[in-house]
Structures are given as structure tokens and as C-alpha cells.
Amino acid sequence: MKNSGRGLFAGAAMLFLCGAGSAQAPAFRPVGTVRQIMLGIVGPASDVIFAVPNKPPKDDTGWQTVQNSSLMLAEAGNLLMIPGRAKDKNDWMKFASQLSAVGAEAFKAANMKNAAALDDIGNKIDALCEGCHAKYLPKQQ
Ligand code: HEC
């Protein structure tokens, strides 16, 4: 019994490996440019989080908007890391992955309706925007 179990496992592992190597594996398909993601997703989502300290949501619907925006920011970090968008394999990936991490922190705080925590997290987000822009924003003419 034990042996046939192992055989099954090995077979499944082979199938998995073959599938992973298949030429037809669907790939990421970037649609927007980095600039479009900034203007369409990252900017609007972070604006919602930055507004919380001055004007905390009053009801569940308001908090839902903050939750959704935090999620958008966290996932935008992932979008920036996919091949075709990533500018390099070093600092770019670090900044993008940190954006994802602080977005996840914001999501947690928004789920707990913690406006004070979102104040601190907003500062971290702001520092990240600036850090990545200092290195990667095209220089003005
Ligand atoms: C991983 C790096 C990275 C992070 C993190 C990042 N950005 Fe950007 N951002 C860029 C790059 C690169 C551009 C320039 C894109 C271009 O013009 O090709 C840009 C451009 C922008 C623009 C458009 C500026 C313009 O008018 O050309 C806005 C707005 C923007 N970012 C907002 C933000 C905000 C807000 C944050 C933080 C919540 C942020 N970005 C975080 C890399 C980043």
C-alpha cells in the first residue's frame, strides 16, 4: 500500500513538472503602462488612505471603500512586479514588494476600522512613493 501511494505521488509530480514546462502555459498579459497604473490605480487608491486621518469614515460603506483601496494598492505592488513592467530585478522589485506589504497592512487596519494605524501606514506609503520616484521617475526636461 505504501509503495503504490508513493508511485501515485511521483506520477502526480511528473504531471505537474510537465505542465509547468509546457510552451502553452498562459502568461501574464500587461495591458496598462506603469504610468497608467499610477494614474488609474495607485494614485486614487492611496488618496483614499491619505484622507482617513482628516476625515475618518463614518459608516461601514465608508470603511469598505478604504478596504477596497488598500487592496488595490497591495495588488498594484504585484502588478508592478510582472515581467514587462519591472524595470529591474533589484530596487524596483523591493519598492514594488514593499508597496504590496504596506497595502496589506492598510487592508488589515481598514478591516479593523483603525484610523490611527492608517495615519502611520499612510506615512510609510508616502515615503515609498517618494523613494521609488526618486530613483525611477523620468527626469523632467
Ligand atoms: C515601484 C516604483 C514606484 C512606486 C512604489 C510608486 N511609483 Fe508612481 N511612478 C513610478 C514610475 C516609474 C513613474 C513614471 C512612469 C512613466 O512616466 O513612465 C511613476 C509615475 C507616477 C505618477 C504620474 C506622474 C506623472 O504625471 O507623470 C503618479 C501620479 C504616481 N506615480 C503616483 C504614485 C503614488 C501616489 C505612489 C505611492 C502610493 C507611487 N506612485 C508609488 C514608480 C513608482
Q: Where are the domains of the chain?
A: 31-136
Q: From the CB of 96, is ligand 1 less than 6 Å away?
A: yes
The CA distance from 105 to 118, in Å, is 9
- Residue 14: its pLDDT value, please? 47
Instruction: State in Å, rounded, how far the first CA of the chain is from the last one.
Output: 72
Q: From the CB of 129, is ligand 1 less than 6 Å away?
A: yes
pLDDT tens-digit map of 94-103: 999 999 999 9
| pLDDT tier at 24, thresholds 50, 70, 90 | confident
Average pLDDT over residues 24-41: 94
Report in angstroms the alpha-carbon separations of 92 from 75, 87, 95, 98. 15, 6, 5, 10
Q: Which of 105, 97, 103, 96 is nearest to 133 (CA)?
A: 96
Q: From the CB of 49, is ligand 1 less than 6 Å away?
A: no
Read off the amino acid at residue 3.
N
Average pLDDT over residues 17-22: 52
Read off the amino acid at residue 7.
G
The pTM score is 0.86
Domain over 31-136 is classified CATH 1.20.120: yes
